[in-house]
Amino acid sequence: MKIPVLYYHKIDYPKKDAVFKGLYVTPRQFKRQLALLKFLGYETINPKEILSFIKGHKLSVKKPILITFDDGYENNYLNAYPILKSAGFTSMIFISSGFIGKKNAVSDERERVKENFLNKNEIKEMFKNGFFIGSHGINHFYLDRLEEGVMIGELIASKAYLENITGFAVEFFSYPFGAYNANVMRAVKNAGYTAAFTTVNGKIEVGDNSFELKRISINGYNNIFNFIFKILL
């Protein structure tokens, strides 16, 4: 068995001037994707179960899946959260702590369209309802290009800031832009995280490195057939 971990960015209708339209999955597409997962018998798991799975322990769930979001857009709360809840699913949101409650553009330096980011109350509400919060750094920098001290600050301060909001330990990290190397991985571990997700395509397998977890990217160009193909493959 392998565990698929999906990653999304924005659940919304694409903004007219957006450069990266693929980052938007419409609420309608998202609803259809979740309905299909439910039909196929998938159940969302606690990300901690992934850690015991890679060590070789059996999972209680027959068809496990983890749904993740990167960056921490407010549309995750406004659009994705109600759809997930009504499907009986949870998800994990990787938040860039420096953008909380702000309007910003982070997907790339070339993206000019700004988005609203989750505020503290929205994060608290989702956390209380069984959703998981992970860190995506503070400023969404390429960690592999930063000076050591600045990189460590991104890892430690974002963790502390998010822990202060939820009142619980933040154990999971997702590398901004999927950028990492051996040095970044070591720093993430030393900062107190127990695992980190990449943007390398693939599923979780027994024996995987917990700081190099693979995911499956879902974008707005995937129709329902590409979607299910990516998960079943």
Residues of this chain that bind Zn ion (CB under 5 A): 70-71, 176
For residues 213 and 200, what is the distance between their CA atoms, to the nearest angstrom? 8
Task: Quote the DSSP letter at residue 3.
Answer: B
| Minimum CB distance to Zn ion, residue 158 (Å) | 12
Q: Which of 16, 171, 205 is nearest to 92 (CA)?
A: 171
Dihedral class, residue 5 (left if φ above 0, else alpha if ψ from -120 to 50, else beta): beta
User: Which is nearer to Zn ion, 3 or 95 (by Cβ)?
Assistant: 95
> Residue with the closest Cβ to Zn ion?
70
| Minimum CB distance to Zn ion, residue 143 (Å) | 11
Are 117 and 124 in contact by the 8 Å Cβ rule? The answer is no
Residue at 216: amino acid letter: I
User: Which is nearer to Zn ion, 31 or 140 (by Cβ)?
Assistant: 140
For residues 197 and 70, what is the distance between their CA atoms, to the nearest angstrom? 10
| Minimum CB distance to Zn ion, residue 39 (Å) | 30
User: Which is nearer to Zn ion, 98 or 176 (by Cβ)?
Assistant: 176
| Minimum CB distance to Zn ion, residue 178 (Å) | 8
User: Which is nearer to Zn ion, 4 or 176 (by Cβ)?
Assistant: 176
